[in-house]
Amino acid sequence: MTAPLLEVQDLHVAFGPKTVVDGVGLSIAPGEKLALVGESGSGKTVTALALLRLLHGARITGRAVFDDGRQPRELLALPERELRALRGDRIAMIFQEPMTALNPLMTVGEQIVEVLRLKRALTPAQSAQAAIDLLAKTGIPEPARRAGAYPHQLSGGQRQRAMIAMALACKPKLLLADEPTTALDVSLRGQILDLLRELQRENGMAVLLITHDLQLVRRFADRVAVMQHGRLVEQGATGAVFAAPRHEYTRQLMASQPERDVDESPHAGGAAPVLAARGLRVSYPTPLPGVRGWFAKGQFVALQGADFAIGPGRTLGVIGESGSGKSTLAQAALGLLPRRQVGGDVQVAGVRWQHRAGADKPLRRRVQVVFQDPFSSLSPRLTVEDIVGEGLRVHAPHLGAAQRAEQVRRSLHEVGLGEARFPGLLARYPHEFSGGQRQRIALARALIVGPELLVLDEPTSALDVTIQKQVLRLLQQLQRQRALSYLLITHDVAVVRAMAHDVLVLKDGRVVEAGAAAQVLGAPQHPYTRKLLAAA
Amino acid sequence: MSDAATGARSLSPARRAWLRFKRNRLGLWSLVLFATLVVLSLLAEVISNDKPLVVRYDGQFYFPLVKTYPEKVFGGDFDTETDYLDPFIRAQFAKPGNWAVFPPNPYGARTINYFAKSPNPSAPSRDNWLGTDDRGRDLLAQLIYGFRVSVLFGLALTAVGTLLGVAAGAVQGFFGGKTDLAFQRFIEVWGSMPELYLLIIFSAIFSPSLALLLVLLSLFGWMGLSDYVRAEFLRNRQLDYVKSARALGVPNMQIIRRHILPNSMVPVVTFLPFRMSGAILALTSLDFLGLGVPPGTPSLGELLSQGKNNIDAWWISISTFGVLVLTLLLLTFMGDALRDALDPRRAEQ
């Protein structure tokens, strides 16, 4: 066995009194692919940033020896100037969100050239050619033209490729990849991963992949290290860990694939649909360029020709990638779009949205919504009682404060939140709850008015996998108890597999495939559906 | 994220911000000192006044502070109001059985000391602790009353400007679109009016008064703030909790009041002390230019202008300068502490 490229021992990182990384030790051999897995807040990103000392206001202790064959160097004790020479040159990093990691005011080519000239001292002409070659290597079509493009002119996948090109500009020995595919659509994730693997093999570079996605780890890594609460709980060869996880937490992570547990009885044909749409079309006004824009507005069609119906107690899963019109569909079902933007027909229990506050009020009671982001979906300045009780103030104004509190308590109990675990629950503010608990509060807020249909807009995609499974189980249970219908919007095929009776596949605002879940997911007809399913 | 089991008592975001504010010693002590000074200046009549608080004369009690007595009551010759600084009246009070309790500084805001021992402006002495100004008025009394006028004016201007600014920003930000566009253009036109010339013109047309100044300065004072509130509203109205409220059918006014407004107040609160110091400075500079309060009103700006005209009367400029610097410094320290307390990055901790 060769000497390790990076040897980390007893790494501690603390912000103020709070220890975020607690005694992590790991080593990476040259050319090895190590995955660091954990849920949000487990300290995996902080570990990577600490190695390059890119954390502000943190106290870092421990040892991290980097030895690329020239001389071993202690990263945590290196003078800032020498560390700067290592960063980007011997050790490079790529980030989750390429839009914010690239400078929006410089073309992609300029940014790569900047790295090359700083670290490689090439002439402008040489580095410009080298930048184009690098972009070509990452598989960007027409690299010479793309080098002159600004980040916003590239698609998400191309931006991530450009960032990889930049990171690889100096042929680093170690690449720290922080959730490199999380911000991308599923069909792109596999491609980026393949690209990383290919480049890794070509350059003999080691990769530390930081991720929460176990599928990714299984496909990519040689070894895996599992983190929980700042500690390394398990470490080993990928195959061995997946085959026989030793730590309880690892087992929990492995078992967090959502399970299907829904009412499978065939659809009762006679029941009237809770939500029905025919020829639904949504368009947004867009500014036109030049003088024309002063007098007229362009039109962007976000969704067209959507027909669907949801029966009582059933779930319609809508899948598609970002920009496919999924969220627009949710807004239209909720009647939240201005009348002029909506064409076609959307009916809730046979009644059409009027787009007037007074006329729509009875309908609002029947359709409720749960959003993706558990942090922006609860107002930080209201108590749990005010948040959950809001619907009652509108739809049952005759209730007194005590009755309202009683109903709020009942609704919270239904989603699994009780005074027993959270003393003084009603008077608490959202900041005291974790993501999964917030999502439950949002669910209680929706359920309190007794809706028939819940629009779930990516209800679990911001949650950690173990929490995701719990929330999905709760949703399944509520559906059985209350005969609720769900309009489930997601990009995650596993969630649809676990929840949906019927599936709608959207691409660029059009329905490309629709039908019973077993049929669409089991025997997809459209090539796009096949691609989506293959990537998942 | 704090563990939900840390305690039964849950702190509202405002309360947590207050706890963070309290941790900043400089800001907290500035607030305490400033509040003390304001309360003292509100009691100015008992601290610095030319009328005694209580008088015992010929076996009877008199309260000149609340009631006006002619000189005849105390053995004088005239029916006019008593001048309690007159050596004759002082002698009357000094007779056996009679006494009078004067405030610590026996001069009011408009009292002219006709009995000063040196020509005006006179240097600090045992009679006038900080000396007198060029009209023979006691400087300490001027500063106390001038401070009170400045602070009250600053408070009023800040309150009116904040209310207008929040309302204007809320309307633009919540409704957006054409409303926003029209409002923005109006603000651009309104903001390009020459404020100072308007003040000069209006002070020529109307007789100057504090109320007129308040109206004129308020007309222009709300614009800076409305931009911040507008931006906060634009950001907050598309957040999921607002969408959830709309999906519940909550009326617009209630969405603004319960959901968006409380979450848009951070820039408003952060700017309060700075706006207040700005308002005090505005009044002071207008007074300095002679465009401010009516003549005779105690005012820091007018004192500064006296200091400029009587450059050898150092006690005028130095003491006025000291009061102004202290006031503005305290407000700035409070503003800094408040800004740190409401910083969203620290709020996460």
Pairs of CB atoms within 8 A across A/B: 97
Contact A381 B245 (CB under 8 A): no
Contact B8 A423 (CB under 8 A): yes
Looking at beta carbons, which residues of chain B come within 8 Å of A376? 239-241
- pLDDT one-digit tens code per residue, A418-438: 888 888 888 888 888 888 899
For the residues B232-259, what does the mean pLDDT come to?
90
CA–CA gap between residue A161 and residue A147 (Å, rounded): 12
pLDDT higher than 70, residue B346: no
CA–CA gap between residue A305 and residue A316 (Å, rounded): 17
Judged by a CB distance cut-off of 8 A, whether residue B2 touches chain A is yes
CA–CA gap between residue A383 and residue A236 (Å, rounded): 45
CA–CA gap between residue B82 and residue B76 (Å, rounded): 8
Judged by a CB distance cut-off of 8 A, whether residue B349 touches chain A is yes
Which run of H or of E encompasses A327? Answer: helix A326-333
CA–CA gap between residue A499 and residue B282 (Å, rounded): 65
Query: Of the candidates A369, A393, A432, which has its C-beta nearest B4's C-beta?
Result: A432
Nearest to B151 by CA among B304, B324, B268: B324
Query: Helix, strand, or coil here: B62?
Result: strand
What are the residues whose beta carbons fall under 8 Å from the beta carbon of B174, sequence distance 6 or more?
A: B233, B237, B252, B255, B256, B260
For the residues A129-148, what does the mean pLDDT come to?
87
If one compares B85 and A208, the residue with the highest pLDDT of the two is A208
Query: Helix, strand, or coil here: B55?
Result: strand
pLDDT higher than 60, residue B146: yes
- pLDDT one-digit tens code per residue, B210-240: 888 899 889 888 888 999 999 999 999 888 8
Judged by a CB distance cut-off of 8 A, whether residue B176 touches chain A is no
pLDDT higher than 80, residue A2: no
pLDDT higher than 50, residue B1: no
Phi/psi of residue A392, each to 5°? -70, -35
pLDDT recorded at residue B148: 94
For the residues B100-121, what does the mean pLDDT come to?
81
Amino acid at A136: A
Looking at beta carbons, which residues of chain B come within 8 Å of A432? 1-2, 4, 6, 10
Looking at beta carbons, which residues of chain B come within 8 Å of A396? none
Contact B244 A432 (CB under 8 A): no
Paired residues of A35 in beta bridges? A209, A224
Query: Of the candidates B2, B14, B248, which has its C-beta nearest A394's C-beta?
Result: B248
Looking at beta carbons, which residues of chain B come within 8 Å of A434? 1, 4
Looking at beta carbons, which residues of chain A come within 8 Å of B10? 383, 424, 427-429, 432
Question: From the candidates A15, A390, A422, which should be mutated to test the interface with B, based on the most B CB atoms within 10 A?
Answer: A390
pLDDT recorded at residue B106: 85
Contact B258 A382 (CB under 8 A): yes
Q: Is the dihedral of CA A172, A174, A179, A184 positive or negative?
A: positive
Judged by a CB distance cut-off of 8 A, whether residue B164 touches chain A is no
pLDDT higher than 80, residue A269: no
Query: Of the candidates B4, B11, B249, which has its C-beta nearest A360's C-beta?
Result: B249
Largest Cα–Cα distance of chain A, in whole Å?
Answer: 78
- What is the distance in angstroms between the Cα of A143 and the nearest Cα belonging to chain B? 37
What are the residues whose beta carbons fall under 8 Å from the beta carbon of B224, sequence distance 6 or more?
A: B165
CA nearest to A362 within chain B: B249
Going through A1-70 in order, the beta strands assigned E by DSSP cover: 6-15, 18-28, 33-37, 58-67
In eight-state DSSP terms, residue B205 is H
- Phi-psi region at A239: left, alpha or beta (left = phi > 0; alpha = psi -120 to 50): alpha
Query: Of the candidates B6, B12, B247, which has its C-beta nearest A364's C-beta?
Result: B247
What are the residues whose beta carbons fall under 8 Å from the beta carbon of B65, sequence distance 6 or more?
A: B45, B46, B49, B51, B52, B53
Going through A238-274 in order, the beta strands assigned E by DSSP cover: none
The mean-pLDDT minimum among A96-105, B180-189, B209-218 falls in: A96-105
- pLDDT one-digit tens code per residue, A486-497: 999 988 888 999
Judged by a CB distance cut-off of 8 A, whether residue B259 touches chain A is yes
- Whole-angstrom CA distances from B288 to B134, B282, B309 are 15, 10, 11
The mean-pLDDT minimum among A440-454, B18-32, B71-85, B237-251 falls in: B71-85
Question: From the candidates B10, B19, B237, B345, which should be mutated to test the interface with A, based on the most A CB atoms within 10 A?
Answer: B10
The angle at the Cα of A238, spanning A235 to A244, to the nearest 5 degrees, equals 80
CB B315 within 8 A of CB B142: no
CB A93 within 8 A of CB A167: yes
Query: Of the candidates A381, A423, A445, which has its C-beta nearest B244's C-beta?
Result: A445
Asked, as a colleague might, if the bond just before A79 is cis with ω within 30 of 0, I would say: no
Percent of chain A at pLDDT > 70 equals 99
Percent of chain B at pLDDT > 90 equals 35
B33: which 2 tokens?
Answer: 């000192």
CA nearest to A383 within chain B: B12
Looking at beta carbons, which residues of chain B come within 8 Å of A378? 241
Query: Of the candidates A372, A390, A437, which has its C-beta nearest B245's C-beta?
Result: A390
**pLDDT range class, residue A452, cuts 50, 70, 90:** very high
pLDDT recorded at residue B27: 92
Paired residues of A458 in beta bridges? none
**pLDDT range class, residue A267, cuts 50, 70, 90:** low
pLDDT recorded at residue B91: 87
| Helices A401-414, A384-395: crossing angle, 10 deg rounding | 110
Q: Is the dihedral of CA A491, A412, A357, A484 positive or negative?
A: positive
Q: Is the dihedral of CA B161, B163, B166, B172 positive or negative?
A: negative
Nearest to B265 by CA among B17, B47, B41, B26: B17
Judged by a CB distance cut-off of 8 A, whether residue B120 touches chain A is no
pLDDT higher than 60, residue B55: yes
CA nearest to A373 within chain B: B240
CA–CA gap between residue A69 and residue A71 (Å, rounded): 6
CA–CA gap between residue B174 and residue B194 (Å, rounded): 30
In eight-state DSSP terms, residue B123 is P
pLDDT recorded at residue A372: 86
Q: What share of chain B is helix, strand, coil (3-state, %, to 5)?
A: 65, 5, 30
B113: which 2 tokens?
Answer: 């000391």
Q: Starting from the edge strand earliest in sequence, which strands make up the sheet with A91-94, in order?
A: A91-94, A174-178, A206-211, A33-37, A223-228, A231-237
- pLDDT one-digit tens code per residue, A113-125: 888 888 877 888 8
Phi/psi of residue A249, each to 5°? -65, -40
- What is the distance in angstroms between the Cα of B336 and the nearest Cα belonging to chain A? 21
- Mean pLDDT (chain B) is 87
pLDDT recorded at residue B349: 44
Q: Tokens 């053995």 correspond to what residue?
A: B75
pLDDT higher than 50, residue B2: no
Contact B10 A429 (CB under 8 A): yes
- Whole-angstrom CA distances from A414 to A110, A385, A441 are 56, 15, 10
- Whole-angstrom CA distances from A118 to A51, A88, A428, B80 are 22, 10, 52, 89
Contact B1 A423 (CB under 8 A): no
SS (H, E, C) A148-213: CCCHHHCCHHHHHHHHHHHHCCCCCCEEEEECCCCCCCHHHHHHHHHHHHHHHHHHCCEEEEEECC
Nearest to A263 by CA among A118, A476, A3: A476
Q: What share of chain A is helix, strand, coil (3-state, %, to 5)?
A: 40, 25, 35
CA–CA gap between residue A226 and residue A249 (Å, rounded): 9
pLDDT higher than 50, residue B80: yes
Respond yes or no on whether ipTM tops 0.85.
no
CA–CA gap between residue A346 and residue A308 (Å, rounded): 10
